[in-house]
Structure 1
Amino acid sequence: MSHSQGTTNQTYQAILEALNHLIEVVAKLRSPDGGCPWDLAQTPQTLIPYVIEEAYEVVDAIKSEDQTRIAEELGDLLLQVVLQAQIASEYGHFSLQDVAQGITQKLIRRHPHVFGEVQLEDAEAVRQNWEKIKAAEKGETPQQSQLVSSQLSRYARSLPPLMAASKISHSAAAVGFEWENVEGVWEKFSEELGEFKEALQSDDKTHQSAELGDLLFTLINIARWYGLDPSEALEETNHRFIRRFSKVEALAKRPLNEYNLEELEAFWKQAKAQLNH
């Protein structure tokens, strides 16, 4: 055995020991005998918000390029994987072993150019072959997998709503489901705004929600026409609002709820001026 092989084996062993320790800790947290009441109360459904939150925190950490923070956030996301598998194993559904074996087999199956005899020339060929294999795994015929509606459904299932809507809008437009000009999109926006305002006059929350969704989707189409990313725009607005709000809190000499609206508006204008935007 070479020195490099020995080092690699030691690294793998250390990784396995760390993962095994994590699995044991999570199992203890879920144990009826001395476990944590909060962890014991969780179900796969109650943990959904945490899965989403941790995934977004990983993305934010990667953008920051802070390696220590990236490692920490990846750990938080890994915890969600282990916890979901632990709960599932308690009910006899599947185990962490099943999860690991499943993704390993999928990777091998979807990379025949690496683990098989298939020859693929470039990244685009790899992507196309991946999609064919993926469609076959889901029981779709080649014709079904090429349907635009199938692609749109995948976006709706797998992406956050705002990002999914943007993808759906682009894909539909790419096959000609499109307005002739941007004025048509603005007319649609005015129409949807009117319908939303009308819906708000009723007590039908389902109808109100549907009209709000239509209005937001039309606004996303407007963003596409102008080459804007709605997710990125909203993210920037969120951060900008937080910076301004933080400045307002710094300007205030007492709790904000002790000021009236006019005073708070004055603080807000001062914050905007100090931040130059």
Structure 2
Amino acid sequence: MNSSMSETLEALQKLIEVVAQLRNPEGGCPWDLAQTPQSLIPYVIEEAYEVVDALRSGDEAAIADELGDLLLQVVLQAQVAQDQQQFDLAIVARNITEKLIRRHPHVFDNLAVESVDEVHQNWEKIKATEALSETKLSDQLKKYARSLPPLVAGMKISKKAAKAGFEWESMDGVWEKFQEELAEFQHALQYESKENQQAELGDLLFTVINLARWANLDPDAALQGTNDRFIQRLVQMEGVVDRPLSEYSLDELEQFWQQAKAKLAKKES
């Protein structure tokens, strides 16, 4: 069921009014009144991840519900900023609208494009002209490191660095780098400090991200898939045992694991 434009605007206006009342010093909610942009950061992150989880599930009701929770965080952040006389939701909406129009000249202007790749190239060019204060590559990469989860940031940094010339001639070079970093990590585990071990682990993971980039794979989605499969296999195992898994031997657990793996593989085929 699709709402009309007037119904949508009415619903948004009601949400804005409710949030404003929650933040009203006279009769508002003590919790909402105590919030700051910084205190709300964990909720922004949590709600964004819950939206992603709902999208992956394909559950329409869950998607709509989680998008609402994320929208609340946008409206609440804007209300807090308005209360502090910084900006309001109108400025937020106006800025993103102007940005969309500016970055889509093939839709809102007369620029002709012939492919999705060309659209992406134009988008990057426009972004580059907008970020005049970020002329250095390091400034651009710092932004990714600050604002994105490490695995996602690693892929963004890898792609940007490659475009700037920090790239191997072939995937063979990436594999050589992987073997080098693996050996250094193994050496660090045996002979070096915990700090160096951590650093070498990071180098190894970054090289794996580069392997994924060369293979046109998404390391974040790959790890999420592995996490999901691991949990699914545990669910299968727990469905056939009669006592806690910790009470079984390693050999028994391995047998249950293989059975669960085969059963799930059969379901997927």
TM-score interval (norm. to shorter):
0.7 to 0.9
Aligned partner of residue 44 in structure 1, secondary structure:
coil
1:169 partnered with 2:158: yes
Mapped to 1, the partners of 2:179 and 2:122 lie a distance apart of 43
- The counterpart of 2:182, out of the listed 175, 179, 193, is 193
- The counterpart of 1:236, out of the listed 195, 210, 225, is 225
In the TM superposition, what is the alpha-carbon distance from 1:136 to its structure 2 partner?
3.5
Mapped to 1, the partners of 2:26 and 2:156 lie a distance apart of 48
Q: Which residue of 2 aligns with 1:250?
A: 239
Mapped to 2, the partners of 1:112 and 1:182 lie a distance apart of 36
Counterparts in 2 of 1:1-277, with a 5 A limit? 11-31=4-24, 35-36=28-29, 38-111=31-104, 115=108, 118-122=109-113, 127-139=120-132, 144=135, 152=141, 155-156=144-145, 159-173=148-162, 177-180=166-169, 182-200=171-189, 204-205=194-195, 207-256=196-245, 259=247, 262=250, 264-276=253-265
CA contact (8 A) 1:179 1:185 kept: yes
Mapped to 2, the partners of 1:43 and 1:252 lie a distance apart of 48
In the TM superposition, what is the alpha-carbon distance from 1:23 to its structure 2 partner?
2.0
Identity in percent: 62
CA contact (8 A) 2:106 2:112 kept: no
Mapped to 1, the partners of 2:214 and 2:152 lie a distance apart of 16
CA contact (8 A) 1:55 1:77 kept: yes
CA contact (8 A) 1:193 1:215 kept: yes
In the TM superposition, what is the alpha-carbon distance from 1:99 to its structure 2 partner?
1.1
Quick check: 171-180 or 236-245, which moved more? 171-180
Aligned partner of residue 80 in structure 2, secondary structure:
helix
Deviations 1:100-126 (A, max 9, x none): 2222333344445655xx421116665
Mapped to 2, the partners of 1:131 and 1:226 lie a distance apart of 22
Unaligned runs of 5+ in 2: none
Note closer, same or farther for the CA distance 1:269–1:130 as it changes in structure 2 (3 Å cut).
Answer: closer
Unaligned runs of 5+ in 1: 1-9
Aligned partner of residue 139 in structure 1, secondary structure:
coil
Q: Which amino acid aligns with 1:236?
A: G
Note closer, same or farther for the CA distance 1:265–1:24 as it changes in structure 2 (3 Å cut).
Answer: farther
The number of residue pairs the alignment matches comes to 260
CA contact (8 A) 1:120 1:126 kept: no
Mapped to 1, the partners of 2:12 and 2:204 lie a distance apart of 47
Deviations 1:174-222 (A, max 9, x none): 56534455454334223323433454555554x4433221110112223
Note closer, same or farther for the CA distance 1:11–1:224 as it changes in structure 2 (3 Å cut).
Answer: closer
Note closer, same or farther for the CA distance 1:101–1:180 as it changes in structure 2 (3 Å cut).
Answer: closer
Aligned partner of residue 121 in structure 1, secondary structure:
coil
Aligned partner of residue 4 in structure 2, secondary structure:
helix
Q: Which amino acid aligns with 1:213?
A: G
Deviations 1:69-101 (A, max 9, x none): 332222121111112112222322222222122
Mapped to 1, the partners of 2:76 and 2:144 lie a distance apart of 26
Q: Which amino acid aligns with 1:120?
A: L
In the TM superposition, what is the alpha-carbon distance from 1:19 to its structure 2 partner?
1.4
In the TM superposition, what is the alpha-carbon distance from 1:245 to its structure 2 partner?
1.6
In the superposition, the TM-score normalised over structure 2's length comes to: 0.74
Mapped to 2, the partners of 1:261 and 1:21 lie a distance apart of 58
Q: Supply the RMSD in Å over aligned alpha carbons.
A: 3.6
Note closer, same or farther for the CA distance 1:210–1:90 as it changes in structure 2 (3 Å cut).
Answer: farther
